[in-house]
């Protein structure tokens, strides 16, 4: 493998129902920064059926070039045809870096593609940088420059590790949604659009989709919310979430919850914050009746302001809260809602 | 039907996380358990065994003490345990782990391979799909329901806002979510069997069609540049107000300071 042959930062531009997922824009934002550093281009790989018209959108968010793999076999995500598409693009274009969202799609596609093209893959990264490997020179070992350094949490968020892939190309990472920043879209920006079809011949590895069942949900994506009012088991009952909803409404926010609440069947899984739920970084995060298990904290500690209300003075949530209040949420929350309402009205 | 379930022994990060006085993780003090998603995968296999009849083989890669999770699996109802252990396999990343496990599985007959979606120590969710890739069989990740229909499996595959009902030809590999089921407990008879059961132990020489360059630390494309225990954002303020009114006044005061209201 001649590593020098590999050029460019490639981003898997995930789309579902021919609508680009937010993670694609986040990866382009980060990819552009890495590409600038490496003096190369950022390329979006758009895979689907009748998706070419989405290319302009990707250009507005920073793509210099868009490679479109368009085929009827790619209409709905399936591992095999998508893995064939992305690995064929990698073999054909030889990118230096490939970024994939750590979504329910990307965490299936990424490992399959990395195994197929025989390279390393670092999962669920939260920081991506260009630097040296090893970080500091070691006598008798070559120090390689311009490597992708991928930082990720492990052990349920208790440790962090920085990982490199010095001897294989491409360097591949999946990236947690909600962590990287997209750029402000450049209206009217255009990218070079190139179509590439490696040919799709169904074989035994093509599974059949018998049914697509969409969850009926009218909830806002908690990852987009500016204010989150999050409840834990301490809220006591599904009915009592009403007081959290009232508070959220006053602040123009949304209700989210901890894993315990989902496990108890009080709220659906798409509202869950944490290691096995979603990573959020709102401007204000209320943790109400949430003890603050490490798995929960891992999903919300990047919030700008964290307000915790809990009757247990020793709850670990107070270790990350900016403003911690020890007290009875049933009394405090409704009064807080009323007070904020009148304070907003004064304005 | 022959089912292979891949399981991993992991430190229990849930609740039982222990720290050294210097703030680093005290791994020795943490319990070693069967990874939860793997346990759900095992339970799924045992239910298929109950329903359709099957031979369930559990396989793990790790240190010799990882045999404990194989015995636990046998006590739950698995038929055979295989431990893959060898000094040269140590330090493997997901690529080298998946080549090792695929090398072991090539010695076995199977219709179905079930792995957990991810392990709670690494959380990568990579090894399952990578094993399928090395074995050139279809993979269905994130399974929330598994049924058998003749030579086919019918699986509900979970996504963020939907699920797909997928049909695949066996042999195939499925990765299981812990939401799939509530794993059964070990039975007294099962524990007796587990104590008596002979665990098959395989080393490097028993792996089929794998090159040395794809094994262990040396065969791992990813290298750790640095690892540290997470430095958390320090605690802010904590108040114990005398009344709910004081509590509200405190929060509203802070929001005014920050120009939120």
Q: Are the beta carbons of A324 and B237 separated by less than 8 Å?
A: yes
For residue B149, what are the β-bridge partners?
B152
CA–CA distance, B120 with A232 (Å, rounded to integer): 22
The predicted model gives A170-194 an average pLDDT of 94
Which CATH number covers residue B198? Answer: 3.40.50.620
Q: What is the DSSP string of A263-321?
A: HTTSS-GGGBBSTTSB----SEEEEES----HHHHTTTTT-SEEEEEES-TT-GGGGT-
Q: Which residues of B touch A176 (CB under 8 A)?
A: none
The pLDDT value recorded for residue A302 is 83
Nearest-by-CA chain A residue for B140: A79
The pLDDT value recorded for residue B44 is 97
Domain assignment present for B47: yes
Residue A224 has pLDDT above 90, yes or no: no
Q: Are the beta carbons of A209 and B154 separated by less than 8 Å?
A: no
Candidate CATH numbers 3.40.50.11720, 3.40.50.620, 3.40.50.720, 3.40.50.150; the one for domain A3-195 = 3.40.50.620
Tens of pLDDT, residues A306-326: 999 999 999 999 999 999 999
Tokens of B246: 């004081």
Tens of pLDDT, residues A183-199: 999 999 999 999 999 99
The pLDDT value recorded for residue B261 is 81
Query: Which of A116-120, A159-163, B17-21 has the highest mean predicted lDDT (pLDDT)?
Result: A116-120
Nearest-by-CA chain B residue for A83: B133
Q: Are the beta carbons of B161 and A213 separated by less than 8 Å?
A: no
The pLDDT value recorded for residue A275 is 80
Tens of pLDDT, residues A331-343: 999 999 999 999 8
Residue B237 has pLDDT above 60, yes or no: yes
Q: Quick one: A222-346 is in which CATH superfamily?
A: TPP-binding domain (3.40.50.1220)
Q: Are the beta carbons of A107 and B258 separated by less than 8 Å?
A: no
Q: Which of A116, A325, A335 sits opposite B245 (nearest CB)?
A: A335
Say yes or no: A307 contacts chain B, CB-CB below 8 A: yes
Contacts of B260 (CB under 8 A, 6+ apart): A284, A305
| B206: exposed, middle or buried (Cβ count in 10 Å: 0-12, 13-18, 19+) | middle
The pLDDT value recorded for residue B14 is 61
What is the pLDDT confidence band of residue A279, given thresholds at 50, 70 and 90?
Answer: confident
Quote the mean pLDDT of chain A: 94
The predicted model gives A89-94 an average pLDDT of 98
The pLDDT value recorded for residue B180 is 87
Nearest-by-CA chain B residue for A205: B138
The predicted model gives B128-132 an average pLDDT of 98
Least confident of A148-152, B116-120, B160-164, B198-202: B160-164
The predicted model gives B190-199 an average pLDDT of 90
Say yes or no: A103 contacts chain B, CB-CB below 8 A: yes
CA–CA distance, A155 with B120 (Å, rounded to integer): 6
- Nearest-neighbour CA in chain A from B3: distance (Å): 19
Domain assignment present for B237: no
Q: Which of A163, A318, A332 sits opposite B235 (nearest CB)?
A: A318
Q: What part of A 119-178 touches B (C-beta under 8 Å)?
A: 119-124, 133-135, 149, 153-168
The pLDDT value recorded for residue A216 is 64
Q: Which residues of B touch A309 (CB under 8 A)?
A: 247
Q: Which residues of B touch A204 (CB under 8 A)?
A: 138, 169
Domain assignment present for B89: yes
Q: Where are the beta strands (DSSP E) in chain A?
A: 9-12, 15-16, 19-20, 42-48, 65-70, 97-101, 121-125, 127-133, 144-154, 159-164, 171-175, 192-195, 208-214, 227-231, 254-257, 284-288, 305-310, 323-326
Domain assignment present for B162: yes
Q: Backbone phi, then psi, for A160, in 5-degree steps?
A: -125, 145
Quote the mean pLDDT of chain B: 91
The pLDDT value recorded for residue B20 is 65
Query: For chain B, what is the domain count?
Result: 1
Q: Are the beta carbons of B222 and A155 separated by less than 8 Å?
A: no
Q: Which residues of B touch A288 (CB under 8 A)?
A: none
Chains A, B: CB contacts within 8 A come to: 249
The predicted model gives A82-110 an average pLDDT of 97
Domain assignment present for B10: yes
Q: Where are the beta strands (DSSP E) in chain B?
A: 2-6, 9-11, 32-34, 55-61, 80-84, 112-116, 139-149, 152-158, 162-169, 172-176, 200-202, 223-229, 237-239
- Nearest-neighbour CA in chain A from B59: distance (Å): 21
Say yes or no: B124 contacts chain A, CB-CB below 8 A: yes
Tens of pLDDT, residues A29-85: 999 999 999 999 999 999 999 999 999 999 999 999 999 999 999 999 999 999 999
Say yes or no: B165 contacts chain A, CB-CB below 8 A: yes
Domain assignment present for B119: yes
Say yes or no: A325 contacts chain B, CB-CB below 8 A: yes
Q: Are the beta carbons of B238 and A210 separated by less than 8 Å?
A: no
Say yes or no: B259 contacts chain A, CB-CB below 8 A: no
- Nearest-neighbour CA in chain A from B255: distance (Å): 9
Q: Which residues of B touch A311 (CB under 8 A)?
A: none
Say yes or no: A214 contacts chain B, CB-CB below 8 A: yes
Q: Backbone phi, then psi, for A263, in 5-degree steps?
A: -60, -30
Q: Are the beta carbons of A326 and B240 separated by less than 8 Å?
A: yes
Largest CA distance in chain B: 71
Tens of pLDDT, residues B52-107: 999 999 999 999 999 999 999 999 999 999 999 999 999 999 999 999 999 999 99
Q: Which residues of A touch B127 (CB under 8 A)?
A: 111
Question: Could you give the percent of chain B with pLDDT greater than 70?
Answer: 92
pTM of the predicted structure, to 2 decimals: 0.84
Tens of pLDDT, residues B8-57: 999 886 655 666 665 556 667 778 899 999 999 999 999 999 999 999 99
The predicted model gives B244-253 an average pLDDT of 94
Q: Are the beta carbons of B235 and A156 separated by less than 8 Å?
A: no
The pLDDT value recorded for residue A276 is 79
Q: Are the beta carbons of B222 and A165 separated by less than 8 Å?
A: yes
ipTM of the modeled complex: 0.89
Q: What part of A 223-282 touches B (C-beta under 8 Å)?
A: 270, 275
Q: Which residues of B touch A343 (CB under 8 A)?
A: 252, 255-256, 261
Structural domain boundaries in chain A: 3-195, 222-346
The pLDDT value recorded for residue A281 is 85
For residue B157, what are the β-bridge partners?
B143, B164
Question: Could you give the percent of chain A with pLDDT greater than 70?
Answer: 98
Say yes or no: A111 contacts chain B, CB-CB below 8 A: yes
The predicted model gives A122-146 an average pLDDT of 95
The predicted model gives A168-197 an average pLDDT of 94
Domain assignment present for B61: yes
The pLDDT value recorded for residue A113 is 98
- Nearest-neighbour CA in chain A from B228: distance (Å): 6
Contact B2, B113 (CB under 8 A): no
Is A222-346 in the same CATH topology as A3-195?
yes
Contact B229, B24 (CB under 8 A): yes
3-state helix, strand, coil in chain A (%, to 5): 30, 30, 40
Residue A155 has pLDDT above 80, yes or no: no
Say yes or no: B144 contacts chain A, CB-CB below 8 A: no
Residue B258 has pLDDT above 90, yes or no: no
Boundaries of domain holding B100: 2-214
The pLDDT value recorded for residue B259 is 82
Q: Which residues of B touch A23 (CB under 8 A)?
A: none
Domain assignment present for B79: yes
């Amino acid at each position: 493998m001649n590593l020098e042959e590999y050029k460019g930062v490639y981003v898997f531009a995930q789309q579902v129902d021919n609508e680009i997922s937010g993670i694609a824009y986040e990866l382009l934002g980060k990819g552009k920064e890495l590409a600038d550093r490496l003096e190369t281009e950022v390329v979006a790989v758009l895979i689907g059926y009748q998706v070419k018209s989405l290319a302009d959108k990707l250009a507005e968010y920073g793509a210099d070039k868009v490679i479109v793999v368009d085929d009827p076999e790619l209409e709905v995500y399936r591992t095999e045809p998508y893995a064939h598409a992305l690995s064929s693009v990698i073999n054909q274009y030889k990118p230096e870096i490939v970024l994939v969202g750590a979504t329910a799609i990307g965490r299936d596609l990424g490992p399959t593609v990395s195994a197929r093209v025989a390279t390393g893959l670092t999962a669920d990264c939260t920081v991506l940088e260009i630097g040296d490997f090893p970080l500091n020179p070691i006598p008798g070992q070559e120090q390689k420059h311009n490597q992708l350094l991928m930082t990720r949490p492990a052990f349920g968020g208790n440790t962090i590790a920085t990982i490199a892939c010095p001897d294989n190309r491409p360097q591949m990472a999946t990236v947690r949604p909600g962590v990287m920043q997209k750029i402000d879209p450049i209206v009217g920006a255009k990218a070079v659009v190139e179509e590439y079809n490696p040919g799709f011949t169904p074989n035994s590895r093509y599974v059949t989709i018998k049914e697509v069942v969409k969850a009926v949900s009218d909830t806002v994506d908690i990852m987009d919310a500016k204010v989150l009012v999050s409840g834990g088991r301490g809220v006591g009952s599904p009915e009592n979430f009403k007081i959290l909803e009232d508070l959220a409404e006053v602040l123009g926010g949304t209700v989210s919850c901890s894993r315990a609440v989902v496990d108890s069947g009080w709220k659906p899984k798409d509202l869950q914050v944490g290691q096995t739920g979603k990573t959020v970084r709102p401007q204000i995060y209320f943790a109400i009746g949430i003890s603050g298990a490490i798995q929960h904290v891992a999903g919300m500690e990047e919030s700008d302001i964290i307000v915790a209300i809990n009757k247990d003075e020793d709850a670990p949530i107070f270790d990350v809260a900016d403003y911690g209040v020890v007290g009875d949420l049933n009394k405090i929350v409704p009064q807080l809602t009323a007070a904020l309402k009148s304070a907003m009205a004064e304005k | 039907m022959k089912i292979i379930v891949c399981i991993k022994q992991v430190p229990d990060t849930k609740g039982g996380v222990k720290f050294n006085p210097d703030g680093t993780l005290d791994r020795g003090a943490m319990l070693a358990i069967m990874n939860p998603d793997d346990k759900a995968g095992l339970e799924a296999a045992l239910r298929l065994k109950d329903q359709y009849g099957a031979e369930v083989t559990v396989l793990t890669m790790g240190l010799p003490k990882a045999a404990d999770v194989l015995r636990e699996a046998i006590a739950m109802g698995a038929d055979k345990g295989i431990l893959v252990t060898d000094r040269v396999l140590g330090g493997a990343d997901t690529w080298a782990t998946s080549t090792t496990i695929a090398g072991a599985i090539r010695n076995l007959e199977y219709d179905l391979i079930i792995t957990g979606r991810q392990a709670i120590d690494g959380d990568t969710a990579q090894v399952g799909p990578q094993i399928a890739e090395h074995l050139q069989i279809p993979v269905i990740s994130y399974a929330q329901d598994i049924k058998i229909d003749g030579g086919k499996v019918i699986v509900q595959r979970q996504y963020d806002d939907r699920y797909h009902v997928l049909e695949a030809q066996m042999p195939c590999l499925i990765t299981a979510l812990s939401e799939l089921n509530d794993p059964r407990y070990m039975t007294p008879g099962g524990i007796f069997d587990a104590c008596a059961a002979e665990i098959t132990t395989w080393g490097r020489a028993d792996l089929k069609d794998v090159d040395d360059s794809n094994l262990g630390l040396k065969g791992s494309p990813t290298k750790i540049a640095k690892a540290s225990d997470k430095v958390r954002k320090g605690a802010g303020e904590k108040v114990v107000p005398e009344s709910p009114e004081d509590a509200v006044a405190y929060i509203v005061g802070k929001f005014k300071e920050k120009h939120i209201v």
